[in-house]
Structure 1
């Protein structure tokens, strides 16, 4: 056989992508281990970031703010339209392709001036990785007349090009109406050093991480449904004192719990555990480990979107300044596994 079986370049003399894929497959144990992977897992593996997933039909009201902040921090973003099971990557009349991954390369507030309106218009720039003429054909597409309503200075600032290169602009409203899923990979502070951040005008998250494991009959207590063992789970304290720069006086906390090496263990017959986490606010930051009575009489203030058998669960939470206890767990007690807990905040935090 004289051709590459899996990933390959259009240039037959270019091999870097196949070599990268081979190294990635070796990391996970085999090419078979990559089957059924996801964009979010790949982004995390190559950057060390924490990835959030949003259903755009159930998106939070502050999604635009989340995306603007993500862009300011150099986060990787991707979006897609659910595939038609009867068609592979079918192209819609508006030029978008179903079941196809697009990268989000910019989110901007652009000055617009029309006879009946003037002000700021939120816009999103996407890129089709095919890099060809398959682009959005609606408002503010490359040939759209609506660009005449955008000031020349803003067109220059956003680097507007009108070429068949796979990159295109959409209004935020059109983008949210047409796409169905958004993934944001939030990069940790180690991704760029301080000089690089200043050079490109980006901010960064403050981050802490903890490696741990659930050991049956020791600290694998299961979820809150199992009250008599739940308190035995690992407990992590995080203190946030400085609110975000928004006007709500709240602190953004991203929490991610990642199962370690589960893909490698497929050949041992081990599937992904069903995992999640719960967050409790502490009235006394100096109190000892929380016992069964605490959980019997106190409700959580936040939790993972669900307990699910994915490699990682992640959630974004807006919390008041204070001290919190984060408890990662499996759904059922006595499940053995290793995990990585990561906590990202906009301002500095203290984790114990």
Structure 2
């Protein structure tokens, strides 16, 4: 039955309904305990003459409600500084309340896993006592923040999934840029620091240029109770609005920082609070001008107080309309960029960290640098939909600990095992972050990039991004790349490509007399240490909507025979990957005694054409590499309960 709104042409979102399924996911956060009776209202039911953006830009600032998503609101402040990004996230010319084309829906765009996606929502907002209970603008008549928050909640599955998160993740989702987290505390301990480890430099907040302080979006976070912000609890994020140098009456220079609390109220009790003693050190006109620039929820502090009160800053790379990132290290625009996706597959390409002999089976990529230049590398993992079953790691259940290692090689023909057993020129400690970032300057030549998880066999998808000031190219290193005189390691992979051709090599499964016409791939097993020693993976090169049912059989070749003359109608397979599956990829991990074998891949039905890729991984006798990699610190999430004043 249609509702009255639906009958009148007003959009009602069936995939994100106005009920508890959109509010909660698993009731594991404090949200259910602080949320009262909720009604869902459209903006014209909340106030008269609603707007997206208020006439006064200051009134457009986000204000946090009872949802612990200060991390998202800090990223929203970034949009107010960049109209181009605002137009990207919130496409212009959408009908508003009172317009003839208004239908009660709004569209937002978010950058996810390498591309922009659109999210459409209706404008019904959760309210308590006719007031939005989650984030909103300082102006009660402006709704861009509340609508964006709803679209972002839909993207994540519910409002509750926005409780606690990382500012850097929201910054990336709202811009497509790259963001870095810098620790302000315990910088002497490498296990407690998240500074970028680079080949030729390290960055800290004090080294950020004045230009970058103005152009970057910067957020500051606390991870424990502070001394100056009395009402601030653990894990809270704020926005850095301005840096300025003030001259005292004695001629000294003091650096002041204007901070905005998403709670929308001033919460600083230090030297530079509104009536603090610090202002008496400045000329009255200077003090009055600086205090006059503070809006609701903003306050000033000096650099010493800033470093004492906050534990971490998040800095995003400025991005121009052409999509080029500006380096926070040099100020140069990184005009060349590439991105490529990949996957860690258990038993095939999930080799784990360098402590494991299987490290070399991780996905591998070529980076070609044409001339010396500034290079920014990032590895982003796709977050798991839910915590892995039976996992013992508790730091961040929806993320793997990941890292990116880089080696320079002279040519594309090189000793893989010898290379990855040597120290990389650039690496990061494995960390439970969605994205790990490395910055450096590279000379011309070829570089081997190996993304990995810390745990061997941990599966997942990832995106590798490269931004540079010089011309570069990024490509996948094929598994069949030859390695010269390999003397270490335990596994060797070879890839073969073929096709099933109608009337020729598309023989179908063993139920059909034409099965023997299928392509045959030889397999020689030379090492049997006990246990599984062979993995065979068959992948069909067809789109997801047009997959055939595929499988394969492994036959042992009799002594004195050959794989091409094998009679499949009288010989039984020793291993089979059946039943045939409508899957992009099928695989078998098995034990085979030393000998000669033939692998026969097939579609279930005969006379179906397709190209395929067959990957053979065999265990071979080589020493395992030795390394002592360790995990970085646990990811810190920012969240705080704050009941909005009404």
Match of 1:107 in 2: 243
Contact 1:231 1:292 in 2 (8 A): no
Match of 2:20 in 1: none
Among residues 408, 420, 435, which one is paired with 1:295 in the alignment? 420
Q: Deviations over 1:85-120 (max 9, x none)?
A: xxxxxx744668344321112334x363654x55x6
Deviation at 1:228, TM superposition (A): 4.1
Q: 1:105 to 1:272 in 2, by over 3 A?
A: same
Contact 2:369 2:442 in 1 (8 A): no
The reply on whether 1:266 has 2:266 as its aligned counterpart is no
The reply on whether 1:138 has 2:271 as its aligned counterpart is yes
Contact 1:25 1:31 in 2 (8 A): yes
Deviation at 1:331, TM superposition (A): 1.6
Question: What secondary structure does 2:208 align onto?
Answer: helix
Q: 1:81 to 1:34 in 2, by over 3 A?
A: closer
Task: Point out the more displaced range, 164-173 or 331-340.
Answer: 164-173
**TM-score if structure 2 supplies the norm length?**
0.42
The reply on whether 1:256 has 2:378 as its aligned counterpart is yes
Contact 2:238 2:261 in 1 (8 A): yes
The reply on whether 1:216 has 2:338 as its aligned counterpart is no
Deviation at 1:292, TM superposition (A): 0.9
Among residues 435, 438, 446, which one is paired with 1:312 in the alignment? 435
How far, CA to CA, are the matches of 2:257 and 2:470 in structure 1?
30
Question: What secondary structure does 1:20 align onto?
Answer: helix
Structure 2: which 5+ runs fail to align? 1-37, 41-125, 128-132, 188-194, 196-202, 390-396, 475-646
Q: 1:123 to 1:321 in 2, by over 3 A?
A: farther
Q: Deviations over 1:327-347 (max 9, x none)?
A: 2111233333211112344x3
How far, CA to CA, are the matches of 1:36 and 1:113 in structure 2?
40
Q: 1:266 to 1:125 in 2, by over 3 A?
A: same
How far, CA to CA, are the matches of 2:231 and 2:369 in structure 1?
44
Contact 1:222 1:233 in 2 (8 A): no
How far, CA to CA, are the matches of 1:214 and 1:148 in structure 2?
61
Match of 2:221 in 1: 80
Structure 1: which 5+ runs fail to align? 85-90, 244-250
Q: Deviations over 1:272-314 (max 9, x none)?
A: 22211112233x2x43466112222x2112212x323332223
Q: 1:271 to 1:217 in 2, by over 3 A?
A: same
Match of 1:2 in 2: 39
How far, CA to CA, are the matches of 1:337 and 1:55 in structure 2?
27
Contact 1:78 1:102 in 2 (8 A): yes
Contact 1:214 1:336 in 2 (8 A): yes
